[in-house]
Structure 1
Amino acid sequence: MKLTYKTIIQNYFHRFHAEVSMAAFTRTNPGIRDQSTPEFYRFWMIQEGGGRLQIGGRCLDLQPGQLLLVPPGTRQSFTAENDETVGLYWCHFRASIGDMDMFELLQLPISVVPSEPERVAGLFCRLIDACHSTALTRELHIRSAMFELLACYLEYGGFSESSLRENEPLDKIDHVLQYIEEHLSGPIAVEDMARLAYLHPNYFIGYFKNLIGYAPAQYVLYRRLERAKELLERKDASISDVARAVGMQNHYLSRMFRHYTGLTPSRYRQIYHQTAAHCEQAADKEDNEW
């Protein structure tokens, strides 16, 4: 996937929050029919039985093992098979970031089929238990289970890069992010970024932050420091070379890098290579044991 689109999606996930209102496992009566236009997302995992789901002009046959993300705001009709009881895990949640709905933005499929349905069912059980918990850590457990469920769904559902290219706000920001990546070694002015998006600088700052989650200057600093990390992981680049490559003086890079990671650039490099060597030795030891 294109780097700029990957950056946008990763920043969306970084800011993502799902407000879970209900989670349960239920069995329907044979032949039941349910119609509604919910204001929240529905997450379903079909465990047993079958039926049919109509959403707008689309019709889906439901089978055990399917994981479904049913969007809000559309007329939905669920019908169970005449002679079958449908058993399903489900939850209701709300999720949006700024003025844009992430799931609508990514054009995600309604239904996916995980290769490990038992794992997904286990995550739903964790979510249900957390929702009924009275522990102080209840919200953390809800968030943990929900995020794992969403990660499973997204990994099996995939992303449509073509739909991202057709989205006008993302197309504007795409040019800006590409410009930033190509100019990290030099000055990057808000006015130049705004010009690429055909927006006034004052409006551009809020527009950029709504999509990316950072103000433009914050994002540029973040990308400089991430690029510095990548360069420091190589053994052939001096600290001065790294500083020049990300448009910073040595002392400023050291100060900002330590603020960002808690380590000086030289200490980061040392720890990175120590960790890589340790993991390689551990992998070799495991291979030899086999």
Structure 2
Amino acid sequence: MHPDLKFGDVVLAKKIYAIHGGKEDDTGFRPRPISWQPDHGHLQRAERVAEDDAWRNARPDRRRVEAKAVVRAIASGEVVLDSVDSPLARILKEQYNDAAAIEMEGAGAAVASHLNKSLPMVVLRGISDYANGQKEAADQDGWQEHAARNAAAFAVTLLTELIPDRWAASSQAARAVEEDLLYGSAEQQIAATDALSSGRFENAVSVLVRGFEATLDPDVTCRIIAALGRLRTILARDALRTLKPRYRIEELAIRRALEAWQEPLE
């Protein structure tokens, strides 16, 4: 519903409006807005993904696209809107003008998340039509599938930034791995590097960078570089770009890791 958005762009909801709450009287429908917000930590990670173009590499068809991702409000209701002049369209412009898109499931998912605190959620949508009476034509041109693939690519990239609590390593295990990497033998350093590349450690990137800076053994440092590449997160990619190699073999390892990272995800 915002004119700067194009077909295929992705909208991440910083707020979800439930648009069908209100009162109907002789003057018409009077909205009583209800809104929901995604989990704060997940939203921050999603904003980081939106600011970076790397999510566009994750389409399953390996097709690179020029779409963008934005963080804005989304309207959610039990209706398919395909008009710019309907009563609902006018209400949206007047009462929910910060909403960039309209969809049908987000408010229900937000309520479920609110009632079950262990289920954090975010809502994201690919733009497939402009709600302007041309939805059928846009659907026939394949924009639903294209927009869905872009939204899925964003979701996959976001998931690489998240570590489920039930899978995350304990703080005790994290300290032990960090000590092995920074102060252990070469064998302990290599084992710690492999553990840190598993994605189970919240501070894996910073520990790996410290290990790289503290270690002069190129066999270990190249394994650290490879571990950062395997993490496949934006933070790990940025860390690879800032490493200061001391040997030619490290330069080559960093280059290979960055080249592999830029490849579309399988």
Instruction: With the length of structure 1 as denominator, give the TM-score of the two structures.
Output: 0.27
Instruction: With the length of structure 2 as denominator, give the TM-score of the two structures.
Output: 0.29
Q: Which has the higher contact order (CA 8 A, sep 6+)?
A: 2
